Amino acid sequence: TYGYLSWGQSLKEEEEGALLGQAGERLESITAATSQPHLIFILADDQGFRDVGYHGSEIKTPTLDKLAAEGVKLENYYVQPICTPSRSQFITGKYQIHTGLQHSIIRPTQPNCLPLDNATLPQKLKEVGYSTHMVGKWHLGFYRKECMPTKRGFDTFFGSLLGSGDYYTHYKCDSPGMCGYDLYENDNAAWDYDNGIYSTQMYTQRVQQILASHNPTKPIFLYIAYQAVHSPLQAPVRYFEHYRSIVNINRRRYAAMLSCLDEAIHNVTLALKAYGFYNNSIIIYSSDNGGQPAAGGSNWPLRGSKGTYWEGGIRAIGFVHSPLLKNKGTVCRELVHITDWYPTLISLAEGQIDEDIQLDGYDIWETISEGLRSPRVDILHNIDPIYTKAKNGSLAAGYGIWNTAIQSAIRVQHWKLLTGNPGYSDWVPPQSFSNLGPTRWHNERITLSTGKSVWLFNITADPYERVDLSHRYPGIVKKLLRRLSQFNKTAVPVRYPPKDPRSNPRLNGGVWGPWYKEEKKKKQQSKSKAGKKPKKKKIKKKKQRKAGSFPNCHSGVTRG
């Protein structure tokens, strides 16, 4: 039998060989394999573009390097700049402007979640016989029971509902007095797992359990959304051993966390092989957004960081590893976006997408597997009408086509246009990770107070966004502004409600979890009907709230 791998020390090659040999004996009896591939989607959290061995990092990632080298590296791959948006686009195949989640993240106290009228990826896979399991970070809202992962298509869920929390205690404070436990098994708090186990290891053990109990002749979809390497920066002591030479404490902790994550993915891959899934599996690896230099991440040589629409915030590490690939050991430089996984995986699973559903993703399997041209020619990075407006932006600055005070970004073929306030725009070189951390003295500092509200770059020729071409090519600027305007006409209203005091874990047994009660609302409505009051029916809140703080995936989280 397989059992759990020892986390105290890595398995030696001969031990792995013996293990796989035992598994091979067990699998001799299995003959009828499913024609539908096993789909394994691994999402890392806040991993910077440079933070993988094959991008030149000083952090050792032998597993990621090997899987990527034997598969297809995606070197023109884009996600969203923060947590919720990337996850929502992966699971729906739709841009944020088409789900109402175009502003910031879903915060723990907000009565908000991924809109219930969107068919999710696991729901579509279940339709064609897949067993669907999620392990890790949800961060798509939970204020109602209908918003929970198990109600959105997953047979099982083990993980956290919020955007961040302690890796050992699984406890999260959103603000003073708003603290609670955040570890779930399906729809209930997983108090039995409150044993101080590091989340990266605990999630990997759960993945091993799922694979051990599943029949490999039946198709499985595994969505593994690791908490690592998001702050708070915590890792088991033994992973620090190889990084004593890194002076910056945040970078050193981050490196230890990433090493642990790399080992976890090695153990997941080993389990896939041991239990007979690997030969008919497709493993996809992705980061959810760029790294945060202040929390140890590096996007060098890209500009900007997590939370921005510069390349450092949205261009991600990504690769596909699978025995089913036709062209293994290659690099794909075609345009790929996180929304593309939805139609691609449904197509691979032999599923159907309803014709009346307007998706923003494309089936890009032939692009990845066979090296064909990508069907994608553009990406709407986002339009956020609520984000702080650029002081110098105006409709006039946008040639009467677009108000450049609005934060937006779009890519059309080689060209990328940004308007409004794109966010922190420095290039943070590796040497800036001194003991003091990234500071103005180490970075190539760029000030945005120069009256600009429009930027244009040829990303193919200038991937580091060093040469703004907006004045040289006004015709291209106008063309992209018109494209933005066209996209904006299809946008749905922003969903960003104010906090609800009923969300406080103190009112819910010390646990973050659903608090919205539908029955109570119905009783109140029937009461008002009985009283024959002429007041209008209360419609669901659509109140929009301007967030003064910079969008981030954590609030008041200590890094230690």
Pairing state of beta strands 72-74 and 318-321? antiparallel
**Separation between Cα atoms, residue 90 and residue 311, nearest integer Å:** 19
The active-site residue, picked from 38, 55, 103, 139, is 139
Beta carbons of 92 and 120 less than 8 angstroms apart = yes
Q: Is 471 a catalytic residue?
A: no
User: Diameter of the chain by CA atoms?
Assistant: 78
Q: In what order do the strands lie in the sheet with 72-74?
A: 188-189, 184-185, 156-160, 131-137, 220-225, 38-44, 281-287, 318-321, 72-74, 330-332
- How many helices and strands in the chain, by DSSP H and E? 11, 18
What's the per-residue H, E or C state across 150-177?
HHCCCCEEEEECCCCCCCCCCEEEEECC
Q: Can you list the pairs that 18-24 forms with residues at least 24 positions away whose Cβ atoms lie under 8 Å? A: 19/270, 19/274, 20/270, 20/273, 20/274, 22/274, 23/273, 23/274, 23/275, 23/276
Could you say which of 55, 83, 103, 133 is catalytic? Answer: 83
What sign results for the dihedral spanned by CA atoms 542, 547, 552, 553? negative
CA nearest 142: which of 126, 163, 117? 163
Per the listing, tokens 């739709």 go with 94
- 167 vs 28, 195, 557, CA distance in Å? 40, 11, 12
Residue with tokens 């209008």, as numbered in its chain: 536
* Euclidean distance between CA atoms 448 and 484, whole angstroms: 22
Check if 139 is active-site: yes
Distance CA 495, CA 110 (A): 10
The answer to whether residues 368 and 117 touch, using CB atoms and an 8 Å cutoff, is no
247: phi then psi, degrees, rounded to nearest 5: -70, -45
The token pair at 349 is 């699973």
Edge-to-edge strands of the sheet including 454-458? 378-384, 407-412, 415-419, 454-458
Which pair of structure tokens corresponds to residue 149? Answer: 């992962």
**Residue 135, beta-bridge partner list:** 158, 224
8 CB neighbour count, 10 Å cutoff: 7
3-state secondary structure 25-65: HHHCCCCCCCCCCEEEEEEECCCCCCCCHHHCCCCCCHHHH
Is residue 312 within 8 Å of 50, Cβ to Cβ? Answer: no
Q: Which residues are catalytic?
A: 83, 139
